[in-house]
Amino acid sequence: MTPTLVRHHRHTESSALADGATRARDWAEIQERMLAPLYEAVYTRLEVGPATRMLSLGCGSGLALLMAVGRGAAVTGVDTDPDRLALARTRLLPAPEDRTAPAAAPLLTESVAEAADGGPHHLITAFTPIGCEAGDGEELVRALETAVPS
């Protein structure tokens, strides 16, 4: 576990600062297991399956997308954190030698506009809570306005 997960850091030379990729991986390993039942309940209730084309705003490290793919959904994920997005790519995108149908691969991007270019989605999720940071509700509204065709 990296020192960034500890609230009060000991300021010594041996306490190295963790990079963003390490923090993203640690968050995924520690926190995600608590969110899996939520994702499963939502997907069951909304009948996510092979006929679903889903867009996840704030997809983070990709667990919710991975669970939707497991149900057969075609997924697109958007996140502004490049380290979490890199982890999502590692989880969701096949290795180059395993790619047989590139069109079926999930799209993972930092741009809501790029995600919306692929056509309309049946389901848009935003599992990230709002109200934690100033302006995060407005960011979600802007993302939805971009993602939903007029």
Q: Would 13 be classed as within a structural domain?
A: no
| Span 23-60, pLDDT tens digits | 878 877 888 889 999 999 999 999 999 999 999 999 99
Q: Is residue 30 part of a domain?
A: yes
Residue 11 is assigned to a structural domain of this protein: no
Nearest to 44 by CA among 21, 68, 61, 19: 68
CA 140 centroid distance within chain: 14
**Residue 28, in any domain of the structure:** yes
State the residue range of the domain holding 44: 20-147
Q: How confident is the model at residue 14 (pLDDT cuts 50, 70, 90)?
A: very low
Q: Is residue 116 part of a domain?
A: yes
Burial class from Cβ neighbours inside 10 Å (0-12, 13-18, 19+) for residue 60 reads buried
Longest CA pairwise span in the chain (Å): 54
Number of domains in the chain: 1
pTM: 0.78
What is the structure's pLDDT at 31?
Answer: 80
